[in-house]
Amino acid sequence: MNDLQKRTWAEISLPNIRHNYEAIRAGLPAGCRFLGVVKADAYGHGAVAVSRLLQEAGADYLAVSCLDEALELRENGISMPILILGHTPPEYTEMLLEKHITQTVSALAKAREYSEAAGKLGGKLKIHIKLDTGMSRLGFLCAGSYFEKGVENLLETVALPNLEIEGVYTHFAVSDEPGEDCEAYTRAQFKLFTDVIEAVERRGGMRFPIRHCANSGAVVSFPEMALDMVRPGLLLYGYGDAGGRLGLRPCMRLVTTVSTIKYYEPGTSVSYGRRFTTGRRTRMGVLGIGYADGLPRLCSNKVSFAVPGGFALQRGSICMDMCMVDLTDLPDTHVGSEVEIFGPANDLCALSDAAQTIPYELLCAVSKRVPRVYAE
Ligand SMILES: *Cc1c(COP(=O)(O)O)cnc(C)c1O
């Protein structure tokens, strides 16, 4: 990065991602595969860089949310298996076949369309079937009164001529939340998942080669649910409550710099809406980061950032491209000083709590204006 442009950047530690990958991998049962979730530009860390690392480190699978994300990886030399978690219109079957991309299939009608399209192209589309065991999002309905119908639809799907059924999976709704109710819900989802698989395998006389359900929450709290492959995202990036407990390392550090420092008399209002007024003579720094970079405006007046010599309270409304911090008691912070918005010195969760959201959203929110700088 050109030093003259030093405004705001995200330092990504590839060694920390590698460390996290190896630490998670070390806790898996023998033979369990590892799928790294790199959707949403690898939670803001850069999908190509993270995928290259995972490919080299020996991960088994990658997952993205849509075809464009998968193509970006293929165009950048990623040759390992890639699963699309979301929907791809069947018109794109040719592209999926040509680029060797695995598609999620979440309903019988779609399975038929993919099979028909693949047949016309003389190919067989590799798919993973998704079951809706309680997330109520994508997936074959199979809970409660839908069990029998679900199994029938799955039997019809696995018998379609032009699909290669490589895997079956489901997604947990509360595997990362504490409490007995949540634990019971996750266990019920898991039981339904394995019951449906058992019924389809028995009645269809087939086997699903890869059964998977463990997202980060389950990898941490329900290791017995690893089955044939785990599917962590957040954990790989070292964030979330469990990350620290497992000795995982945060991989992104969002950094900005002090552009200007000014002194204000007591009673001076600061920023749009005049939502902060100085109560004393104040040494106020202007930072080159705002909500267009991914710092939520909802954090205004509620957070502090790590600066040389301590933590600076953010003051006044966060603007699109700037925000202000009180540096009165921080004489070691000067124009040009680095300010850590989140990272090892300043917990992302404090920021996500202030923004009434979860760490996931803030990682994804770091916008494309913010250059990623990779530490090897
Ligand atoms: C995003 C996603 C994951 C990863 O979730 P984490 O909580 O980040 O581990 C796993 N599976 C599916 C289907 C997802 O959409």
> Which pair of structure tokens corresponds to residue 363?
């990682």
6 is catalytic: no
Average pLDDT in the 306-333 region? 98
37 Cβ closer than 6 Å to some ligand 1 atom: yes
Nearest CA to ligand 1 atom 12: 171
Distance between Cα 247 and ligand 1 center (Å):
20
Q: Give the model's pLDDT for residue 376.
A: 77
- Return the number of other C-beta atoms located less than 10 Å from residue 108's C-beta: 18
Ligand 1 centre distance from Cα of residue 214 (Å): 8
Q: Is the pLDDT of residue 3 over 60?
A: no
Angle between helices 14-26 and 47-57 (to 10 degrees): 50
Task: Tell me, in angstroms, the distance from the centre of ligand 1 to residue 245's CA.
Answer: 20
Ligand 1 pocket mutation pick from 34, 37, 169, 216 by most atoms within 8 angstroms of CB: 37
pLDDT band at 178 (very low <50, low <70, confident <90, very high): very high
What's the number of CA atoms in the CB half-sphere (13 Å) around residue 142?
A: 32
The residue-averaged pLDDT of 79-98 equals 98
Give residue 4's pLDDT band: very low, low, confident or very high (50, 70, 90). low
Q: What is the mean pLDDT of the chain?
A: 96
Contact 316, 346 (CB under 8 A): no
Catalytic residue among 120, 263, 272, 368: 272
Query: Atom 4 of ligand 1 has which residue's CA nearest to it?
Result: 233
Domains belonging to the chain, first-starting first, are 31-238 (3.20.20.10), 252-375 (2.40.37.10)
Q: How far, in Å, CA of 150 to CA of 216, rounded?
A: 27
**Overall average pLDDT of the 36-65 stretch:** 98
Measured CA angle at 367 (ends 361, 368), to 5 deg: 140
Tokens read off for 286 = 């202007």
pLDDT reading at 71 higher than 90: yes
Element spanning 149, H or E: helix 147-158
Give the active site residue among 21, 39, 43, 114: 39
84 alpha carbon to ligand 1 midpoint, in Å?
12
Residue 322 in this model has a pLDDT that exceeds 80: yes
191 Cα distance to chain centroid:
26
Task: Give the mean pLDDT of 79-93.
Answer: 98
**Model confidence band, residue 242 (pLDDT cutoffs 50, 70, 90):** confident
Length of the chain: 376
pTM of the model: 0.96
Q: What's the CA gap between 71 and 233, in Å, rounded? A: 19
Q: Is 264 among the residues known to form the active site?
A: no
Q: Which of 129, 131, 147 is nearest to 139 (CA)?
A: 131
pLDDT at 241 over 80: no
Q: Tokens 């469990």 label which residue?
A: 242
Give percent of the chain with pLDDT exceeding 70: 99
Q: Are 197 and 211 in contact (CB under 8 A)?
A: yes
